[in-house]
Amino acid sequence: MDTSGVESKYYDTLTRVYTKEYFFIQARKYLEEQPNTEFCIVELDVNRLTMINDMYGLVEGDRVLKNIGDSLVNIFQEVPYSLVARIHADLFVFMCPYSKNEVEGYIRTIEDNVRFLSQRLSVDLLLSFGVYVANEADVPISSMCERANLALKSIKGNYMNHIAYFDTEMRKRAVDEIEITTKMNAALKNKEFVIYYQPKHSLDNEQVIGAEALVRWISPSLGMISPAKFIPIFENNGFIMKLDEYVWEETCRFISENLARGIMVPPISVNVSRVDLYNPKLVEIITGLVKKYAINPKMLKLEFTESAYTESMQQMLAIMDKIHEHGMEIDMDDFGSGYSGLNVLKDCPVDGLKIDLKFLGKSENDVKSKKILTSVIHMAKWLGIPSIVEGVETIEQVNHLKSLGCTMVQGFYYAKPMPTEDFIKYISEHEVSSSIETIKPFEETVLNPDEWYESVESDCEPLLEMHHSYMLFNRGDNNELEIIRASDSFYESMGGRDRKYRENIDCSHIIYPDDLNKVYKTFDEINDYHTIGKCLHRIVYDDNTIWVYLKVRLLEKYEEHKVFFATMDDVTDAMNVHGY
């Protein structure tokens, strides 16, 4: 990889590898200069970099990226017609002449170097690689990178398989994407996108309590196109914003026209894609449609997917506040399909929770899956958040959900998504609730402290079962921070420490004296259920010092007492490496 004569403006400022723009220019040049050489483009993604940033700060995270950049440069230093660049954040790309054995040898060397970094940081930095063999010279370099990225995404989070090649199936999807992209604007203009409605039902009385508006594409040339096929493409190219606005307006029109005809229409939910969050006029558009069609704001419910909440939290909170000011309600959709659901719930004032039935797994006898589903339903009830389970298809699932106290469902067991006229007929033949019942929070208890702790633990049991290592703390009026319960696995993770520290002990006896005020402050600054505290501190066991990374949130309040749920990770090895 020859870097001589390259201007500094073509280098990434952090890692000193090439920029994406220069990579595109130089890669095209190599392909033209070496028409008889088969090249490949490989994208490399660094997993768990966020954990490094959280534990050690952004400076250490940047150091990791620099080290990876240096490693790539060293590996390809002597490889003719090779290039290394940083696409963005923790995504790198390299190009070199293609030989499967050689390329996978380069990948093994990269992983060995990163494995050394992992040992130094005591964090397993896993890499994923997407490979595109550039056997179509006329394809733009940007498209080649996109194809490598498609391969990469196919194994994202799959720790058993860390290399994926762009194949014929991916190629077919790429061709389909081009066809869909070329037809989408005309399809919208010609009203090929049709709104289907899927009813939501109460399990208490089987009334229709709402519906969800879903879009279908009926193309004269391609037939019925699955949303699973076109929605991801529209999210990537931004067309989803036009389509969503079309669905919102058609739904408002439907509600207004049928209410005017005297038809009892239930509240209808519409989806708001994560891409819509970047539209500065989002709130103005939605509230403008509600006013244009003169409908009650609560008749149009908004559903944001769980993943949307994790990408831009502050922007999301600002949008939610404005929407709530206009009297509209927001549900979190697909809860459980992502990785940050519990953290999102603590920060976002959602009005409802849609729970994905994939919690039950492939087998309805899967005990662990049922425990997780039970925990989430109980947690939503405990937080006072109405919840609805979607994907309900069998009477066995219905009966099981009833046994858990679930009261609202959506799924094929009751009704599939249906065209407008079929939906009107459906709601005319079924009793429609005039409003969606809200679930009340658990009633406050009037108990003595000991009885109250027992009650809280009982209510929290499903939540505790979800966590391998945890502790429950009481911060009482005597200003002590008391351990009232800890899991066995917590002590195992702490190296099998003496169980005498397990319960009913003031933590001041085991927290390192110099860290005591910092720990107390972490707990004292948590005054609501939407705040999570984090603290890096030391614990002293039998004259041994252990570094722990503490995460804590409030579970319940009673008079002057507060119960907190906490998880702790032993990070002693990592801190020792850094000389602490």
Condensed to tens digits (0 to 9), the pLDDT of residues 285-316 reads 999 999 999 999 999 999 987 666 655 667 77
Q: Please report whether residue 444 resides in a domain.
A: no
Cβ pair 510, 541 in contact under 8 A? yes
- pTM for the model stands at 0.58
Separation CA 251–CA 257 (nearest Å): 10
Instruction: Using the 3D structure, point to which of 166, 199, 218 is the last residue of a domain.
Output: 166
Residues 376-404 have a mean pLDDT of 85
Q: Which residues pair with 355 in a beta bridge?
A: 335, 389
Phi-psi domain of 238 (left: phi exceeds 0; alpha: psi -120 through 50; beta: other)? left
Do 40 and 58 belong together in one domain? Answer: yes
Do 143 and 186 belong together in one domain? Answer: no
Separation CA 282–CA 276 (nearest Å): 7
Q: Please report whether residue 103 resides in a domain.
A: yes
Separation CA 51–CA 549 (nearest Å): 12
Do 137 and 12 belong together in one domain? Answer: yes
Separation CA 462–CA 382 (nearest Å): 12
* pLDDT, greater one: 357 or 69: 69
Q: Which pLDDT does position 84 carry in this prediction?
A: 95
Whether the pLDDT of residue 166 is over 50: the answer is yes
Q: Which of 209-223, 364-378, 398-412, 476-490 has the highest mean pLDDT?
A: 209-223
Do 483 and 521 belong together in one domain? Answer: yes
Whether the pLDDT of residue 417 is over 90: the answer is yes
Do 417 and 496 belong together in one domain? Answer: no
Report CA 253 to chain centroid distance, whole Å: 32
H helix or E strand, kind and range, residue 303? strand 300-305
Q: Which pLDDT does position 211 carry in this prediction?
A: 96
For CA atoms 108, 109, 112, 117, give the dihedral sign. Answer: negative
Q: Which pLDDT does position 389 carry in this prediction?
A: 92
Instruction: Using the 3D structure, point to which of 128, 149, 166 is the last residue of a domain.
Output: 166
Name the pLDDT band for 517 (thresholds 50, 70, 90): confident
Q: Which pLDDT does position 441 carry in this prediction?
A: 33
Among residues of the chain, what percentage have pLDDT more than 90? Answer: 38
Task: Show the tokens assigned to 136.
Answer: 């179509």
Q: Please report whether residue 1 resides in a domain.
A: no
Residues 327-348 have a mean pLDDT of 71
Q: Mean pLDDT of all residues in the chain?
A: 81
* Angle at the Cα of 305 from the Cα atoms of 301 and 310, rounded to 5 degrees: 125
Q: For the domain that residue 129 is a member of, what is the CATH number?
A: 3.30.70.270
Do 281 and 409 belong together in one domain? Answer: yes
Whether the pLDDT of residue 437 is over 90: the answer is no
Domain range holding 470?
A: 449-577
Q: Which pLDDT does position 460 carry in this prediction?
A: 52
Q: Which residues pair with 419 in a beta bridge?
A: 196
Q: For the domain that residue 568 is a member of, what is the CATH number?
A: 3.30.450.20
Report CA 291 to chain centroid distance, whole Å: 33
Cβ pair 551, 567 in contact under 8 A? yes
Among residues of the chain, what percentage have pLDDT more than 70? Answer: 78
Separation CA 259–CA 261 (nearest Å): 5
Q: Please report whether residue 180 resides in a domain.
A: yes
Separation CA 311–CA 313 (nearest Å): 6
Q: Residue 395, class by beta-carbon neighbours within 10 Å (0-12 exposed, 13-18 middle, 19+ buried)? A: exposed
Q: Which pLDDT does position 540 carry in this prediction?
A: 79
Q: Which of 207-211, 476-480, 514-518 has the highest mean pLDDT?
A: 207-211
> Out of 27-41, 192-206, 343-357, which region has the weakest mean confidence (pLDDT)?
343-357
Q: Please report whether residue 2 resides in a domain.
A: no
Whether the pLDDT of residue 449 is over 50: the answer is no
Do 346 and 480 belong together in one domain? Answer: no
Q: Please report whether residue 434 resides in a domain.
A: no
Whether the pLDDT of residue 12 is over 80: the answer is yes
Separation CA 52–CA 34 (nearest Å): 41
Separation CA 112–CA 115 (nearest Å): 5
Report CA 465 to chain centroid distance, whole Å: 22
Instruction: Using the 3D structure, point to which of 166, 188, 212 is the last residue of a domain.
Output: 166
Do 235 and 290 belong together in one domain? Answer: yes
Separation CA 367–CA 314 (nearest Å): 37
Do 272 and 294 belong together in one domain? Answer: yes
Tens of pLDDT along 252-290? 999 999 988 888 899 999 999 888 887 888 999 999 999
Whether the pLDDT of residue 363 is over 60: the answer is no
Query: DSSP character for 504?
Result: S
Do 406 and 469 belong together in one domain? Answer: no
For the chain, what is the domain count?
3
Whether the pLDDT of residue 339 is over 50: the answer is no
Q: Which pLDDT does position 118 carry in this prediction?
A: 66
Q: For the domain that residue 325 is a member of, what is the CATH number?
A: 3.20.20.450
Do 324 and 306 belong together in one domain? Answer: yes
Amino acid at 395: I
Q: Which pLDDT does position 145 carry in this prediction?
A: 93
Q: Which pLDDT does position 123 carry in this prediction?
A: 67
> Out of 257-271, 294-308, 395-409, 424-438, which region has the weakest mean confidence (pLDDT)?
424-438
Phi-psi domain of 453 (left: phi exceeds 0; alpha: psi -120 through 50; beta: other)? alpha
Whether the pLDDT of residue 459 is over 60: the answer is no
Q: Please report whether residue 178 resides in a domain.
A: yes
Computed over its alpha carbons, how large is the radius of gyration of the chain?
28
> Out of 23-27, 42-46, 456-460, 522-526, which region has the weakest mean confidence (pLDDT)?
456-460
Q: Please report whether residue 3 resides in a domain.
A: no
Per-residue CA distances from 575 to 54, 220, 536, 571 (Å) = 13, 63, 10, 6
Do 321 and 201 belong together in one domain? Answer: yes
Tens of pLDDT along 526-538? 876 556 788 888 8
Residues 532-549 have a mean pLDDT of 80
* Angle at the Cα of 42 from the Cα atoms of 36 and 48, rounded to 5 degrees: 175
Whether the pLDDT of residue 209 is over 50: the answer is yes
Q: Which of 71-85, 295-309, 349-363 has the highest mean pLDDT?
A: 71-85
